[in-house]
Amino acid sequence: MDRYSRLVAWLKVLLPLTALGLLSTLFLLSRNFDPIAAIPFAEAEIKDRLRGEQITAPFFSGTTDAGDQVTFSASAVQMGKGQGNGTDDLSVQIDLVSGTRVALSSDMGKFDIAGARLTLSGNVIIATSTGYKLKSETLTTTFDTLSVESPNGVMGSSPIGTLHAGKMLLERRSGDENVHLNFTNGVKLLYRPNIREE
């Protein structure tokens, strides 16, 4: 056997042994790795997520029976038992067929997907493209037949002045193309006319 053949035979044995040695040192010298410590969540957040199912940053878009476009978004929806489909940081936009836009937002709420119903609570803000900007503690919205109701009263600004009312209802009545915004239960309006300079 010549020198070249002997060299090739030795290399066939030495090279795989060297590779095995290198791999074994990688495992022996590597640091201990804790997979739990690598998860970038706080312990309280992990407990909240384990309690029930959760949808992060949900987005829903649809149309009412009359053709109004509704868009819903939130930071999270908790779907687990006892949560009642609770939502955080709600934002709802309703584009009416007439061209008017109604924007609703709140800190939290409950969303009933099957019933197409949303209850907003905690710092509820109602703003319309026609100039209303109102605040309320609770707001109930139904999407199939458009209805936005504040049973606990609203306060804020309107196109003609400051407004306080015990109840607000935005709805499209059956067979009516127009959407009506009604204030009842002790309405107080501080009229502020627009003074135009001539």
Q: What is the pLDDT of residue 34?
A: 62
Is residue 195 predicted with pLDDT exceeding 60? no
How many angstroms separate the Cα of 181 from the Cα of each of 14, 17, 33, 161, 166?
87, 83, 61, 16, 14
Q: Please, which residues have CB within 8 angstroms of residue 171's CB and are 6 or more apart in sequence?
A: 145, 146, 147, 148, 149, 179, 180, 182
Residue-wise pLDDT for 54-92, tens only, equals: 777 888 888 888 888 989 888 887 765 544 577 888 899
CATH number of 53-191: 2.60.450.10
Q: What is the mean pLDDT of the chain?
A: 82
Burial grade of 185 (CB within 10 A; 0-12, 13-18, 19 or more): exposed
